[in-house]
Structure 1
Amino acid sequence: MTTSKLVFDPLSQEYFDGPWEIYRRLREEAPVYYNEELDFYALSRHEDVAAAYKDFATYSSAYGLDLATIRSDEPMPAKMIILMDPPEHRHMRSLVNKVFTPRAIEAMRPMVTETIDRYLANADPAHFDVVADFSAFFPVEVITQMLGVPEEHRQQVREWVDKSLHREPGQVDMSEEGMQAIGEAMGLYFQLIQERRANPQDDMFSRLVAAEITREDGEVESLDDFEIAGFATLLGGAGAETVTKLVGNAAVTFARNPEQWQKLLDDRSKIPAAVEELLRYEPPVHYNVRRSMRDVELHGVTIPEGKPVFLLQASAHRDPEAFTDPDTFDIDRNRTEAQNLGFGYGIHSCLGAALARMETAIALERLLDLIPHYEVLWDDCRRVAMQNVAGWSHVPVRKLS
């Protein structure tokens, strides 16, 4: 029996179509994998990925999040919290944490519920697309409303984000169309920031304009327009994509595991646990990329200083050394076995994780009401081809009697 050469190419059609077998081989055959063609390394075992997420001194975020940006020797100029290392990150995080307190998130529940209900109201359970008709729309509506983006621009933000993340097979760098989309989004945010400086409202833009941050030298400053626009770009992107893909992944995963869907029909209190298992089993974000800041020796391999390193949390979630029967989807799984990395880990754990969990839980609740028994029309399902993000652009379903 001849085993094919192990190739992990995060921009290949094979990867976009489903990377689980690739991940298994990485964990078993090359836990520190090197791609010669694209000159990057990848960590795939849970212990290694979790440790790397916590070691920001060795694995830096300051050069970007994807292969294209990290290959540059210059730190990213964008003032996004996700592109900062301490101490700069610590000051910014302490500021924006005030916006994402448990009380603040819970206060958003009525707005989130109303938004989800509005987008599901027109769904025909006899035939509708869980993503294209539903989950593509409501998450960006929630996050941009929270930011303070006027209603007429909210879905445009989603289109800009999709263009910026889309990658054709083999495409490393962002397309001209994607760069233009980012520029247009930043232009909108700059305009709104100027308006809030002149006329504050009850929204996040206004709170960020008014916020003060203590810099490393002890000087107290306000955030500048570039910092606020960078934060809005990050939040808009994460808010638009994560829940969209998570809900689509849920429809597919539960269709393949109907006994798990039945558990939710029998006991709605299991919905939060189901969200956690979805984040483990079929996460919307499969990896983040860091830059090695020193030579690293791991599993007999040396990762040289200055190289892109993929942290494959989706692979880590299927590691049998971390989870019992990791390829089994089980909403009653023991949550204490290992760290769920679905929303990151360490200093860059997702700011909006509680909001995303709330949105997904409410969406599942509503789908249980609308289509208690359903089937997926598999021939018409379509996956996305994106950097970092994995999931479906089309998941058509039909209610069963």
Structure 2
Amino acid sequence: MTKPHVEFNPVAQEYFDNPYEIYKRMRDEAPIYYDEREDFYALTRHADVAAAFKDHESFSSARGCDLGMVRSGDVPQKSIIFMDPPDHRHMRSLLNKAFTPRAIQAQRETVIELIRHYLGKADPEHFDVVQDFSGPFPVEVITRMAGVPEDFRQQVRLWIDTSLHREPGQIDWSEENQKANVDSGMYYYGLVQERRQNPQDDMISRLIAAEIPGPDGELRKLDDIEITGFTTLLGGAGAETVTKLVGSAMVEFARHPEQWQLLLDDRSRIPDAVEELLRYVGPVQYNVRYSVREVELPSGTIPANKPVFLMGAAANRDPRAFDDAETFDVTRDRLQAQNLGLGYGIHSCLGAALARMETVLALEHLLDFMPRYEVDFDGLQRVNMQNVAGYHHVPVKVLK
């Protein structure tokens, strides 16, 4: 009996439930996958995905980063993830100043304070890792940095979750997605207006004061729409990544208790564990680019003018790149291949160092809070999101 043709549908319930089985078949049977009905390509092997991430001249970000956006060319706002050089280079150099090693270290005590606050309120008998802990604290960190008042920080998370949610079969934005994006954008736009009148020691105020080269080479200020786009993006990326990574971490450690024991025995392994989690269950599944010309990749040819899925999560489990790629191992040799969990190339995650620090500190405190625990696997609830994987609910019981 022959196997049915491999099918990748980025909004199928089967894909939301378990993308990794589909990735394995795609890598083996259709590394340059083409969907005739939706007219897109998808790359899953590490060599192809890494090459495409690096080749920003062939694979453009200027049309957006999900299939609906890239296909329509209707980019909703000025944002660094929707830019190619030279605009991208100017904006990146400006935003990098917010994420220098010193700036990240300056957030360390804030992160610890928030982690202790949320774990201090948690009930060990009825603890939901995501709802009680990994959901609320990261968005507090990034929105504080941006300058969002305390009353609106958790609202930002709700807007993000709503804007990224996808029903099975839904490629384009729903009314709910649109409303969340508009409400979030209007809120940040209003905040930018306030900071113009009353600057403070926050990222929005610094962006207002900053200058970048314009098309004619002359320095210019950012406009309100640009600043709104950046702060909206940073709020989303800063909240989603750690929220999903920590939730998935506790599920994987429950499935592999010997790996959790390695961390209990030796806390110095925690940074390596974070890298392995980013490889094995990284929150970002893919980014969509637009091929502006025909491109030769190790596994074949991508024609010009097509949406192309760069499936970083599939590439991170490619056995051609990693030994025992389907095994979760916090002692793994990290030098074998490039970990694509936080992107690669010019669009690699701006806040990667902050996300890593937050996740390391979260695991350190969870090792103290629940050295022994059980996950209620029947109570797990996955998210259905555009390009993001993880859990909405991870109920656990802390064991004595």
Answer whether TM exceeds 0.5 for this pair. yes
TM-score by length of 2: 0.98
Structure-1 residue corresponding to 2:102? 103
Alignment deviations for residues 254-285 of structure 1 (CA, whole Å, 9 cap, x no partner) = 01111110011011111111100000000000
> 1:145-180: CA deviations, max 9, x gaps?
110001111111111111110000000011111111
Q: Which is worse superposed, 120-129 or 155-164?
A: 120-129
Q: Equivalents in 2 of 1:301, 1:331: separation in Å?
A: 33
SS in 1 for 2:374: strand
Instruction: Summarize deviations over 1:117-169 as a string: whole Å, max 9, x none.
Output: 11111111222110121111111111111100011111111111111100000
Letter in 2 for 1:42: A
Contact 1:62 1:75 in 2 (8 A): no
Letter in 2 for 1:86: P
Map 1:199-214 to 2 at 5 A: 199-214=198-213
- Matching residue of 2:67: 67
CA shift digits 1:297-332 (9 cap, x unpaired): 446754322111000011101111110100111111
User: What is the match of residue 380 of structure 1?
Assistant: 379
The answer to whether the 8 A contact 2:143-2:235 is kept is yes
Aligned position for 2:162: 163
What secondary structure is seen at the aligned counterpart in 1 of 2:279?
A: helix
Which blocks of at least 5 consecutive residues in structure 2 are unaligned?
A: none
Counterpart position of 2:277: 278
Map of 1:16 onto structure 2 = 16
| Within-5 A mapping of 1:152-231 | 152-231=151-230
1:233 shift after superposition: 1.0
Hey, what's the Cα distance between the residues in 2 that align with 1:335 and 1:303? 30
**SS at structure 1 position matched to 2:350:** coil
Runs of 4+ in 1 over 3 A off after TM superposition: 297-302
Q: Secondary structure at the match of 1:291?
A: strand
1:37 corresponds in structure 2 to 37
Report the CA distance between 1:76 and its aligned residue: 2.4
Asked if the contact 1:167–1:385 (Cα under 8 Å) also holds between the matched residues in 2, the reply is yes
- Looking at structure 1, the residues matched to 299 and 115 of structure 2 have their Cα atoms a distance apart, in angstroms, of 50
> Do 2:47 and 2:298's aligned partners in 1 also have CA atoms closer than 8 Å?
no
Amino acid at match of 2:52: A
Deviation sequence 1:220-246 (CA, Å, 0-9, x none): 011110110000111011111111000
Cα deviation 1:75-106 (Å, max 9, x = unaligned): 62521011100011001111111111000000
Written as runs of structure 1 = structure 2, the 5 A alignment for 1:253-332 is 253-298=252-297, 301-332=300-331
Q: How far apart, CA to CA, are the structure 2 residues paired with 1:300 and 1:264?
A: 38
State the secondary structure of the residue aligned to 1:4: coil
Q: Deviations over 1:174-224 (max 9, x none)?
A: 111111111111111111111111111111111111111122422001111
1:137 pairs with 2:136: yes
Partner SS state of residue 42, structure 2: strand
User: Given that residues 46 and 316 in structure 2 are in contact (C-alpha distance below 8 angstroms), is that contact kept between their aligned partners in structure 1?
Assistant: yes
- Equivalence map 1:345-384=2 (5 Å): 345-384=344-383
CA RMSD of aligned residues (A): 1.2
In 1, the alpha carbon distance for the partners of 2:143 and 2:98 equals 14
Would the alpha carbon gap of residues 301 and 333 (structure 1) be closer, same or farther in structure 2, given more than 3 Å must change? Answer: closer
User: Which residue is 2:52 aligned to?
Assistant: 52
Q: Check whether the contact 1:50–1:345 (CA below 8 A) recurs between aligned residues.
A: yes
Deviates more, 1:269-278 or 1:289-298: 289-298
C-alpha contact 1:31 1:299 (8 A) present in aligned 2: no
Number of the residue aligned with 1:3? 3
Corresponding residue of 1:79? 78
The residue that corresponds to 1:25 in the other structure is 25
SS in 1 for 2:336: coil
Q: Deviations for 1:51-88, whole angstroms, at most 9, x for unmatched residues?
A: 1001011110000010000002x462521011100011
Unmatched segments (≥5 aa) in structure 1: none
Secondary structure, in 3 states, of the residue corresponding to 2:121?
coil
Aligned with 1:393: secondary structure?
strand
Matched letter for residue 2 of structure 2: T
SS across alignment from 1:124: coil
